[in-house]
Structure 1
């Protein structure tokens, strides 16, 4: 199937043209894009989409993510048609009430995140000065996290372990990026520097991918393992995206390290935050689709399918065994 289509033009209109999308923008001829060439549609800002086009996306299982406001907050989402096997969701609801099994699965999910973080950090630090010191610090942090996972007896405790590891990792990442970017740690609301702004945008798109993977696998994205129930929150999507966050981190690092994006691509919003400009968004979208989308999408899809496999009492995916053994991970 195709890739992600980003629509980020003021006044853009999206309509249906048989089995295709017709994209119209001011002062330019319309574009006709076969729906089979699109896996996900991301629409930002003041664009509009016709009901017939929404129906086509639903019929063909194309996911839709609408980003609204100056900070690209996620608004409307369509994950495509629901999975036909409701028995999977019934098993998922039973799992929610089995606290011990749910905790064990959440522990494995975070262990997988640690393995991917270690692999991504080694890639980033290759040929970098001071890599031994950074790798040593990361090894200390991941060893502590693994001990914490083993000892944790509640989801809150697991989330505490994850938070501590993330904080340690961001301190290392901050030392690898230009000081002129002003990044010191993870801050979201508002993102005070370019790195945090890109991390937020990347996590938003990755979480939408995770929610779509959950729905397509037959799962309810609101019922998670690690993240608790909350009104309007897709807890399972937040769970599935945890192992993918290091991939987003590495992608953001590469954009800045390669100077494809710099501070000049961002502007001060006057409220303590920064915004990615139009030229920067174009660079980000194109790079995301070429470098990050396949890895993130493949990972959350495998994790969602693994959940279904276990709910059906089938053997685990060998990919997860590879991660626990420290072997190479194909993402």
Structure 2
């Protein structure tokens, strides 16, 4: 149980939430984990199998506190919204901003700034931690190019120019990505990003983890009342959760890429965990998917210091924190959206 940004996060799998006067009470079996006044909350995100009492949900409706239900793994089930809930105004504001070229440019630049900053941090960390095992001059050169790309963002006047900077920065980052693979170089290598289908084991691993991260980002946005299909960096396309993909971008290098590299470099994932199909596409097999899913859940439980909140949170809650911050910005409660900068 954790309270952040006027939001109660309940992450204990067997927790049950009930009402006591005007307080939400979080119980684990016979133990009371905490009591929080409903008047102090804007929303509750519950990652528990047991859920909440009808009396509590009724009082949340009365007080305008949104209640979102998730599985313990982060799959979004649905929300209970009261008549006083502001989600309709939030979404109207989101749609209005998505039609405003200046707003689209500004928000897209924030996502890309987070992505490039974090990608550069991944490269810089590698030069510090593995200086004797990687081509440091080559990695440093790409890191310098990423720093230049960050500065270019300040001059971007359109969303298309932001997308151009993002595309060039991604090429610089992936140019050095193979250096970050420290072991099993015959089985795991990286020449360029390939999708639909991924053409080698490393791309297959990245694609699978990106799908997991995209699902968590989509669930996070749905839970805070935003439309995950209306984005800023990614344009609208039928069936594409564009805003979730926007949020993925800033988290991709530090959440997904670092996990993929760790799985390979520590021999958790091996060549036998993949299969090659007739079209040349490479995919994780059942055994490989189980290995990655297990590692994914462990990584989500690891604590990091959130740079904006200045407090420790599990990696698994980071998409939800960022979704809340984005909702606050869109609602007008913040002057700017603060990307997640990993340090």
- Give the superposition deviation at 1:204: 0.7
Q: State the TM-score, normalized to the length of structure 2.
A: 0.68
Partner residue in 2 for 1:29: none
Q: State the TM-score, normalized to the length of structure 1.
A: 0.71
Q: Which moved more, 1:289-298 or 1:190-199?
A: 289-298
Q: Which moved more, 1:229-238 or 1:177-186?
A: 177-186
Q: 1:313 to 1:142 in 2, by over 3 A?
A: same
CA separation in 1, counterparts of 2:160 and 2:197? 25
CA separation in 1, counterparts of 2:168 and 2:262? 24
SS where residue 61 of structure 1 aligns?
strand
Partner residue in 1 for 2:284: 276
Q: 1:82 to 1:208 in 2, by over 3 A?
A: farther
- Give the count of matched residue pairs: 264
Q: Which moved more, 1:77-86 or 1:272-281?
A: 77-86
Higher helix share: 1
- Give the superposition deviation at 1:248: 0.5
Contact in 1 for aligned 2:199/2:281 (Cα 8 Å) = yes
One of 332, 338, 341 as aligned partner of 1:313: 332
SS where residue 275 of structure 1 aligns?
strand
Q: 1:158 to 1:63 in 2, by over 3 A?
A: farther
Structure 2 unaligned residues grouped into runs of 5+: 1-9, 14-46, 52-66, 303-313
Q: 1:141 to 1:80 in 2, by over 3 A?
A: farther
Structure 2 residue 306 is the aligned partner of structure 1 residue 300: no
CA separation in 2, counterparts of 1:82 and 1:250? 36
Q: 1:124 to 1:262 in 2, by over 3 A?
A: farther
Q: Deviations over 1:80-121 (max 9, x none)?
A: 226642111111112122211221121122111222222233
CA separation in 2, counterparts of 1:275 and 1:162? 27
Structure 2 residue 105 is the aligned partner of structure 1 residue 103: yes
Contact in 1 for aligned 2:149/2:169 (Cα 8 Å) = yes
Q: 1:302 to 1:225 in 2, by over 3 A?
A: same
Structure 1 unaligned residues grouped into runs of 5+: 5-34, 40-58, 66-76
CA separation in 1, counterparts of 2:157 and 2:336? 25
Contact in 2 for aligned 1:213/1:300 (Cα 8 Å) = yes
Q: Deviations over 1:10-38 (max 9, x none)?
A: xxxxxxxxxxxxxxxxxxxxxxxxx8259
Partner residue in 2 for 1:146: 150
One of 179, 182, 187 as aligned partner of 2:185: 179
Q: Which moved more, 1:198-207 or 1:294-303?
A: 294-303
